Structure 1
Amino acid sequence: MYKQCKILNKNTNETFYGQIDTDFEGKDFYELVEIPDDGKIYKWNGSQVIEDTEKEQQEQKLQALEKDWEALPKGVQSFFKNNYDDVKVALQAGKKADAVQIMVDIESLIPDTLKSTYQTLLQKIQNF
């Protein structure tokens, strides 16, 4: 019997919508489990589905950083745009050190008028 639901791949901890065969008894590497569709992030801990609070907190921090970014004047946003996109990708991948390094690498390019804004962004990324 097939069931349409939100599914968690236990090996990759990736979620997606699809169908699972409720009678399927496959190997562990292919086993899929149903998870609640309540907007929370879940992961497989080796024996059961649990809430991924670390990933949830990371998403909340990223949303807060995005909100701070949107509050910057458009001219400042355009100056940092490419670097900010790289920082965001690094943070989403859980690579905070890479995100900080991107900011450190561009420090010499920052005009004096934007040093304060740069320092604020750097601090927020370091505290991510």
Structure 2
Amino acid sequence: MLKTMALTGAMLMMTGCLFTVDSDHRSGAASWNEHDVARIVRGQTSESWVRTSFGEPMRTTVFEDGTQVWHYTNTAEEDTEVGLFLLFHIDVEREVRQDLSIEFSQGVVTDYWVKERRS
């Protein structure tokens, strides 16, 4: 019984030494942040303020009625490596992409939304 407990205890202590974790986080050039998005007011914020605060949009969609949607994107990548001695090596990569879309009519913001995608 004592031998089994000692062996179990030794195995449990070794499990803490078996895994190594290395994590790296990289962010792309951010074109916007949540603080600036919170300052957008529907029906009041102008195109010029958005252009000054966020820069040129990455993409613009123009509809027949003159409504425009400006699109901005932020990306971040996370790379995590997990190893078990030299036997196993797992590399997990994850990308987080945030898309900000701002809709304008007659030079004023009418709507905006943020979509976040993880892959």
Q: Same fold (TM over 0.5)?
A: no
Structure whose residues are more often helix by fraction: 1
Shorter-normalised TM-score: what interval? under 0.3
TM-score by length of structure 2 reads 0.23
Structure whose residues are more often strand by fraction: 2
Q: Which has the higher contact order (CA 8 A, sep 6+)?
A: 2
TM-score by length of structure 1 reads 0.22
